[in-house]
Amino acid sequence: MFDINKINYMMLEFTSACNARCPACARTKNFVNKNITPKGSLHLTKQHINNLFGVKWNNLNKINIDGNYGDSMYHPHALEHLETIVRTQDTSKIKLYIDTNGGYKTPEFWQTVAKLMQQFHPTSCITFGIDGIDNETHQRYRVRVNLDKVFENAQAFMSAGGIAEWKWIGFDWNDHQLDSAKQMAKDMGFDAFIYKNTRVRHKVIEQAINKTPQLDENTNSNISHKIVKDTNKEITTAKDFANDSVIKCKFRRDSNYGFQVEHNGTVHQCCHLPGYYNYQMPGSKLYKEYEYYTNKYTSNWNSLDEHNITDILKHDYFQHDLQDSWNNRTDSLINPRIIRCITKCGSYETTK
Ligand code: SF4
Ligand code: SF4
């Protein structure tokens, strides 16, 4: 059962629009490179935000503004959405975390964001994705993002009192700049430097389950090699990892109990499901993995355009079906295990 009164966490994707073209981003891979955009880029509307925050969430203590397809602050009314949250919730106890490439809008915009963030819990911060210390290196992954602009915006944000982190995705081509980047982060006043390569583990599991070769552009950095090795070891310990692994939902931990809202106003358990199952063509491999659930409910059951947020969270999907699936098999006839839940949250550390 999903206990609505326990909700302390939300992840919001304000928009599917972005200035960048990162090659591994779902948006670039699935749409931009195929000359189609996700329905012309969609934004969470004022109505969606009013629906969500028409409720006073008494236990809400963390909001992540992040996304699968877009860079949320790129939303044309990002500031208004933040203002609505400030107006309707007790934001002094909400930690607000925003992820961005930071390479758009003006320094004044980022200064206003910093001021608004001061209405939230004092540990609130923005994480800037910076994967190189010169434009050439940075743009190998952050295609179209001007690094000088990122630094200008980040500095404007910090000078107005905002707390900023520097997030570095490790690749074989930027490993040699890692130490210099850490030093720059310190010198410029970033509060923390985060090395990230979370895509690796789930890719290895996914490829093992689907028996596909392990090819991924993110598996080449030094730290990734270790993740690949450890994950392979874990998988081979299990007879049938897909069905024997234990799934611990990252959005139902006591410290992280909540849901995700996608740019089109649909509500999901987490950010890992909509990115894979939205916009999939019937018949495609990914569509088939989720088809049982697509067919089981009406098409707009989780849309904030059609239902209020509490009714959506009371739906069978949130209340029973998804939770049942974690203890079922991938071939169960009712509420089968979802491959994405296995790859993202399955582990063989504790066996059944
Ligand atoms: S900055 Fe984020 S949303 Fe934009 S293309 Fe890169 S990964 Fe995708
Ligand atoms: S992938 Fe599945 S198990 Fe993991 S957080 Fe999402 S819904 Fe929960």
pLDDT of 71 higher than 80: yes
Mean pLDDT, the chain, rounded, equals 89
Q: Is 85 in the pocket of ligand 2 (CB under 6 A)?
A: no
Write phi, then psi, for 126 (nearest 5 degrees): -110, 135
Contacts of residue 187, defined as CB under 8 A and 6 or more positions apart, other chains included, come to none
Identify the residue whose tokens are 């789930």: 202
Closest CA to 76 of 53, 36, 43: 43
Looking at residue 285, its pLDDT comes to 80
Q: Nearest residue CA, atom 2 of ligand 2?
A: 341
How far apart, in Å, are the Cα atoms of 72 and each of 4, 137, 174, 242? 25, 24, 26, 33
Residues 254, 309, 81, CA angle at the centre, nearest 5°?
A: 90
Percent of residues, the chain, with pLDDT higher than 90 = 67
Q: How far is the CA of 265 from the centre of ligand 2 (A)?
A: 19
The type of residue at 179 is D
12-26, 37-51, 155-169, 218-232: which has the minimum mean pLDDT?
A: 218-232
Closest ligand 2 atom, residue 343 Cα: 1
Residue 27 Cβ < 6 Å to ligand 1: yes
Question: DSSP character for 338?
Answer: P
Q: What pLDDT sits at residue 223?
A: 61
Residue-wise pLDDT for 154-207, tens only, equals: 999 999 999 999 999 888 889 899 999 999 999 999 999 999 865 666 666 666
Residue 288 has pLDDT above 60, yes or no: yes
| pLDDT tens readout for residues 87-115 | 999 999 999 999 999 999 999 999 999 99
Q: DSSP states of 188-226 as a string?
A: HT-SEEEEE-THHHHHHHHHHHHT-----TTS-SHHHHH
pLDDT digits (tens, 9 = 90+) for 210-232: 666 655 555 555 666 777 777 77
The pTM (predicted TM-score) of the whole model is 0.90
Q: Whose CA is nearest to atom 6 of ligand 1?
A: 22
Q: Ligand 2 pocket check: which of 66, 245, 249 to mutate, most ligand atoms within 8 Å of Cβ?
A: 249
Handedness of CA 86, 88, 92, 98 (dihedral sign): negative
User: Which amino acid would we find at residue 4?
Assistant: I
CB 142 within 8 A of CB 171: no
Cα atoms in the 13 Å half-sphere on the side-chain side of 104: 18
Separation of CA 146 and ligand 1 centre (Å): 13
* Gap from CA of 72 to ligand 1 centroid (Å): 10
As assigned by CATH, the class of the 4-197+256-317 domain is alpha beta
